[in-house]
Amino acid sequence: EDQVTQSPEALRLQEGESSSLNCSYTVSGLRGLFWYRQDPGKGPEFLFTLYSAGEEKEKERLKATLTKKESFLHITAPKPEDSATYLCAVQALGTDKLIFGTGTRLQVFP
């Protein structure tokens, strides 16, 4: 069964303290791995798509990487406005549905 596990469940960082979020996955055949950001009471906001092992994508303070079993979302010098829940999802070959993990709740305090 296709599955996504994210860790840690929650992360508290001081402003400027870099860290990484983990997304481990099992999927029959990977079409793509997606990262989303979700603020409380809002819909998920698309961040990145990764398609194959070794691929990396960057956007401002965020960098996503992919291996055959996991993905990391690296946050460099975070700011309080980066506080949100970060969701990882996989999409298997032959289907459009996204299978999400439960997310990592990130808090960045000044």
The site for other proteins (CB under 8 A) is made up of 4, 31-32, 34, 36, 41-46, 49, 51, 87, 89, 91, 95-103
For residue 75, what are its two tokens? 């946050």
Cβ distance to other proteins smaller for residue 15 or 56: 56
49: burial class by Cβ within 10 Å (0-12, 13-18, 19+)?
middle
Minimum CB separation of residue 34 from other proteins in Å reads 7
Q: Are 84 and 103 in contact (CB under 8 A)?
A: no
Q: Which is nearer to other proteins, 17 or 70 (CB)?
A: 70
CB of 15 to other proteins, least distance (A): 26
Burial of 32 (0-12, 13-18, 19+ CB in 10 A): middle
Beta carbon of residue 51, minimum distance to other proteins (angstroms, whole number): 6
